[in-house]
Amino acid sequence: MSTAAADAPSSEQRHAAGMQAALAQARLGAARGEPPFGVVIVNATGTVVAATHDRVREHGDMSAHAEVLAVRDACAAQGPLLAGCTLYTTCEPCPMCYTAAWLAGISTLVYGTRMAQVHERMGGQQRELRIPVETLNALNPEPLRLVGGVAAAECLALFVPPRAPGADAPRRDI
């Protein structure tokens, strides 16, 4: 085996690093008052081609989810087809975000926590369609490679549960 092959990171190491980059984006978004969703898209050579977080409040646009924005940025940088790219997202994507990734030709989708877990943690306050990504993939004539549960606890911890009635904490429920 060549030294380069022996030194190449495993898929587990690549996924861990990609998710840490997505977590950094989610934290940046949360610090700006956005829901804590972060995404990074990496091409086949390992180069980051897009990195962003939700911007629904900043843009006043409910479609400004991190995955959709990252796909737009990656397509602007590389062209409309993102074959060979991996999308890292801190949370299982909603149907809109999954479809954007699929239509752009993303090859692999790596996610942290599940939307059902976020919904439970947020006391039902998180407004998302909780359709498991495996269900979406099963309906897809060209399914994506799915890798779930990467840094799941760390991704879920970004969601701050709502306080008891009468508490004055801001909500992060979009």
Going by their DSSP bridges, the two strands 86-91 and 48-53 should be labelled as unpaired
Residue 105 and residue 119: Cα distance in Å, rounded? 28
Catalytic choice (67, 92, 128, 154): 67
Residue 150 and residue 155: Cα distance in Å, rounded? 9
Q: Is 58 a catalytic residue?
A: no
Residue 130 and residue 122: Cα distance in Å, rounded? 13
Which residue reads 């999308």 in tokens? 87
Helix, strand, coil percentages (3-state) for the chain, rounded to 5, are 40, 15, 45
Report, as residue numbers or ranges, the catalytic residues.
Answer: 67
